[in-house]
């Protein structure tokens, strides 16, 4: 599994991005065409009870995400993320997703 951590982290990053965008939509904060997690988080941080670690968002923003080169997706500057770092990102992604679910109004 170690050799596929970069793919896992790529999809975790996507989950975080879309979860934050769902919160932006829920609070009608206006559309902004950006994929930067740091910039997106700045728009919602006052709406959250718990703060996110901006250092993790900065690192995720540095991922290689050009889909033209699929074999490089999710690579960090130093190469593939370790299993431990992938787990950290997974935990962050799960937290952001759960936060978005609680934030979004139902029915």
The domain locations on the chain are 2-103
So what's the pLDDT on residue 25?
93
How far out from the chain centre does Cα 7 lie? 13
Indicate whether 72 pLDDT > 70. no
* pLDDT one-digit tens code per residue, 5-38: 888 888 999 999 999 999 999 999 987 789 899 9
| Alpha carbon separation from 86 to 6, 11, 28, 49, 66 (Å, rounded) | 8, 11, 32, 25, 19
So what's the pLDDT on residue 96?
95
Q: Rounded to whole angstroms, how far apart are CA atoms 75 and 86? A: 11
Q: Give the global pTM.
A: 0.85
């Amino acid at each position: 599994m170690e050799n596929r951590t970069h793919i896992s982290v790529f999809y975790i990053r996507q989950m975080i991005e879309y979860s934050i965008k769902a919160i932006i939509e829920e609070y009608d904060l206006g559309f902004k065409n950006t994929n930067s997690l740091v910039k997106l988080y700045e728009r919602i941080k006052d709406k959250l009870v718990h703060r996110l670690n901006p250092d993790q968002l900065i690192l995720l923003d540095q991922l290689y995400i050009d889909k033209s080169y699929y074999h490089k997706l999710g690579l960090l500057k130093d190469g593939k993320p370790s299993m431990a770092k992938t787990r950290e990102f997974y935990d962050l992604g799960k937290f952001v997703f759960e936060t978005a679910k609680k934030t979004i109004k139902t029915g």
